[in-house]
Amino acid sequence: MLSIARCHPLKTSLGLCARRGYAAAAAGEQLKKTALYDFHVGLGGSMVPFAGYSMPVLYSGMGVLASHLHTREKASIFDVSHMLQTRVTGKDRQKFFEKLVVADLHQLPVGQGTLSVFTNEQGGIIDDTIIMQQEDSLYVVSNAACADKDLAHIRKHLTDFQNQGADVDLRIIDDHSLIAIQGPSAAKALEQLVGKDLNDFGFMHGRFLDVAGVPCHVARSGYTGEDGFELSVPTPNIVEVTEKLLAHPDVEMAGLGARDSLRLEAGLCLYGNDLDDTTTPVEGGLTWTIAKSRRETGGFLGADKILSQIKDKKLIQRRRVGLVVQGAPARAGAEILNKEGEVIGTVTSGCPSPSLKKNIAMGYVKSGYQKSGTELSVKVRNRVQDAVISKMPFVPANYHK
């Protein structure tokens, strides 16, 4: 999702710095702005380049550590309008999209969503995505930094399908902005604006709701491991809806800093760090996204390689794992070693965990070293530190059932 050359100079309580994340803009680069840009600046948002956009990393009234903990305890709003929203229509839409992703879209009920991945012919992951089944379309949200790549990939195959007489089309949803409200108080804050109880609104489901009188698409999902919602809001109304959610006493704004540490505690991947187009869903610990029916029939790009790895574990060369690290935090790029000192992998994401008060990381190790409890080491600034394989998520998920 992110593209970075170096760390943002802002020092936070978490010492945030990753191989890919917030970066100084390249010379002459014209950063895009979301419709909430002025709103962020007015609230003291510290703006940084992020996937081609100017986005808040934190706000003057609350540091990254406090913002992270506030989200876990109450609720925070994140501007995610940089994400790519698209709508796929036509009677052949499921058949078309099932060539590109590993989900079973024919069996996905209306109003329900699923996490899936776009794959290439070699079985690598082009991007991760959320797909929501709607009455007459597929609503798809994917990563901002992958937008050009994703669209080129989809359109190439779309043209092929259309030339074969298929009824399918794609539209970019460029007249709506996207925000996420995350945390235990998210439902209470939203219920005040929709005028109804949302207890029957399940995780990974979507609905069209009037939020403070504004027609929105609302999905019960997010990127923090907490209960929460993502709201696709008509852009002319995005400031109004955000302000009304923020008026709830439990709700604060949060930036990219807290979003990154929250998702890592939740064991969630960041595309470009923890997933890339050389990594298969099996290697990336995302086998569960491949529907049972798709394992039997295939039909998606790279299926031969991916399904062969599922059937024969000897074909899996590496595995994504979680690590708890002693000493200094292990950042992206740090080497992972076995007890004999052999390099067996690389850290892809890492930070101090505000919730656990331990240093946590995610990375890849050679197959055979992925068992929880396996004792390893990581090299941080030429110092070898103890580490142990840990199950993910590091912090239990609190999704609404």
Binding-site residues sit at 230
Q: Which residues are known binding-site members for substrate? A: 230
Q: Of 263, 300, 307, give the one whose Cα is nearest residue 282.
A: 307
Q: Of 110, 180, 173, give the one whose Cα is nearest residue 147.
A: 173
**What Cα–Cα distance (Å) separates residue 392 from each residue in 149, 309, 362, 389?**
29, 22, 9, 10
φ/ψ bin of 94: left (φ > 0), alpha (ψ from -120 to 50), beta (otherwise): alpha
Distance CA 345, CA 214 (A): 49
Does an H or E element contain 9, and which? none
Distance CA 390, CA 297 (A): 34
Does an H or E element contain 344, and which? strand 343-353
Q: Of 310, 280, 271, give the one whose Cα is nearest residue 123.
A: 280
Two tokens, residue 373:
């409890």
- Do 124 and 280 touch, CB atoms closer than 8 A? yes
Distance CA 389, CA 278 (A): 23
